[in-house]
Amino acid sequence: MGISSVQGVAVLGFLLSSYGYYIERKSEADKRYKAVCDINDRMSCSKTFQSKYGTFLGVSNSLWGMLFYFVVILLAGYGLNRFVFYLSLLAVLGSVYLAYILYVKLKNFCLICNGIYLVNVLLLVFSYLGL
């Protein structure tokens, strides 16, 4: 049995979230560290991840993302597409909220964040097509 499109996209989301978590940890440990996605003051992943909106319930959004994509990979592997669809719907709603925070409140553009938003939309589309 091969990997489904949902699982493939979820793996990409997991990798993006993992890189986001790496940036968070590296930036905290070394103030001189400059991530690849830190282009300038208005295009900075580090700035976004280190903002007060970078955590939920005291846990890094990147860790939440890694957990989410891991669960999606497992659910898709067991053919539980309906659960994947509903989780993806929640993820897209969360992405809309976080995009609002990113663009309006932080006035920033985060390449990793936007990649994750795209991944969540693709998960929703592919999970819908798999129903």
pLDDT for position 128: 94
pLDDT for position 124: 96
pLDDT for position 1: 46
The stretch 10-37 carries a mean pLDDT of 92
The stretch 89-103 carries a mean pLDDT of 97
Task: Using alpha carbons, select from 72, 28, 90 the residue that is nearest to residue 54.
Answer: 28
Tell whether the torsion through CA atoms of 122, 2, 68 and 112 is positive or negative.
negative
Find out whether 63 and 86 touch, Cβ atoms under 8 Å.
Answer: no
Burial of 29 (0-12, 13-18, 19+ CB in 10 A): exposed
Is the entire prediction scored with pTM above 0.75?
yes
- What residue ranges define each of the domains in the chain, with the CATH number in brackets? 5-129 (1.20.1440.130)
- Main-chain dihedrals φ then ψ at residue 109, nearest 5 degrees: -130, 120
